[in-house]
Amino acid sequence: MSVLASPWVIARGWRTWSIRAVSQECEQLQRNGSWGRLLRSSRAWLVLQPDNREARKAGVVAGKALRDVDSVREFLNDYPCEIPDDVPLISMFADLNFGPLNDPFKGAAACRDILKVTANHQESHRRLVFFYAMTQQQGALQAQIQEALINDCDLPEVFAYSFLGTGLQLSNGRSVTENWLRDAPENELLIVAHALHFAQSVSGAVPSVDEEAAEKVRQMQSECASHLQQLLSRYPTNQELLAYHLQKSIQDGAALNVGELLTVAPPNADGDYRFWHARGWAFSRLADHEEAERCYRKALVLNSLDWRTQYHLAALLRTTGRLDESDELGQLAADGRSLERNLLEQRDMQSIPLKIYKRLAEYSRQCESELFLKHLIQYLNAFEALQESGARN
């Protein structure tokens, strides 16, 4: 007596056979270099097994060979990053998003996924430092730099960006954020970052020789100030906007503005040295020297390399009669200011001379920035060893 198989058993057997057949077909097509057919077969395989890594890898191989960026994105989108073998593909996905796909937020998310699996993945640290610097997220930037150092990713830009902090200026900041804004025109983070990069590009002295050029710069500065004020009205608790306006108000001696801005600071500002610096400055203007000193020292705990806080704390100490400590801190602030100027004069972060890094190491030693100093010395030793090796060869 024959027993007929149930429809469920037949369907299951057919699916298993189909998966085996399409996987073998993809393997054969990849060996033959039949990229168009491989792309179609990979899609068919993915329909049968949406979570199959090998189906996705086959589609990526075909897409890369065909230079079809959208197809590569199709197969890498939602690709899991759970084991070290996943990292090269997710790194490729990050590269595409920071490049032709023009989606830096997905690129940054991919980098964060990689670091959960491979904490010392240097390129992911580099991309995230770049992303946070471009988007003017100072708190996230400093945190990423700390993570990079802890995981022995001693990148040259890490040391420069960490030291520069508030003074960081990127010559390509406007163009990069403008490009990103094309695909995300309403994104608050990018709108604010682009405006801040523009403000940095027009800040500084007005040309004194060419009156026409001077007037043009003054006009740009005026329009920039107006635009940033409008943005603050639009995004009243944006941390980076508030930090910018706080620094500008301190420069202008506008104590009332500083007080008003501090009242609307978001909770995250309690971990931001720039806000503690502003609080210290505000209390010093009220002649509350004890509270001002407490705030300045809190700012230096959060960022011991900030010469601006050192400068204002030195002035406060002089006011309260502690001249020796004031002189020492004032000299340290002057050294930091000189270092900042020298770093900003460099063509790019990859071209910083060794002598400036050595000065930065000495400055960080005096600031008692132990983690920063340890890794900067480690980087300098590796750099010098590489130079000696090159000279011998």
Q: CA–CA separation, 55 vs 34, rounded Å?
A: 15
pTM: 0.89
Residue 102: exposure state from Cβ atoms within 10 A (0-12, 13-18, ≥19): middle
pLDDT digits (tens), the chain, 393 positions: 444 445 554 445 567 878 899 999 999 999 999 999 999 999 999 999 998 999 999 999 999 999 999 999 999 998 999 999 999 999 999 999 999 999 999 999 999 999 999 999 999 999 999 999 999 999 999 999 999 999 999 888 899 999 999 889 998 999 999 999 999 999 999 999 999 999 988 875 555 556 666 677 777 778 888 899 999 999 999 999 999 999 999 999 999 999 999 999 999 999 999 999 999 999 999 999 999 999 999 999 999 999 999 999 999 999 999 999 999 999 999 999 999 999 999 888 778 889 999 999 999 999 999 999 999 999 999 878 877 666 565
- At 256, give phi and psi (nearest 5°): -60, -45
Lookup result for tokens 């595409």: 96
DSSP 3-state of 211: helix
The pLDDT, as a whole number, for residue 8 is 52
DSSP class of residue 209 equals: S
Amino acid at 10: I
CB atoms within 10 A of CB 291: 14
Q: How many CA within 13 A on the CB side of residue 304?
A: 13
Residue 390 tokens, joined: 């090159």
Is 343 in contact with 163 (CB distance < 8 Å)?
yes
The pLDDT, as a whole number, for residue 196 is 95
The pLDDT, as a whole number, for residue 13 is 58
The pLDDT, as a whole number, for residue 191 is 97
CA distance readout (Å), 292 to 90, 282, 285, 321: 47, 7, 9, 15
Lookup result for tokens 């002295």: 205
Q: What does the buried/exposed string (b/e) look like for 162-191 if buried means 16 or more CB atoms within 10 Å of the residue's CB?
A: bbbbbbbebeebbebbeebbeeeeebebbb
Is 272 in contact with 239 (CB distance < 8 Å)?
yes
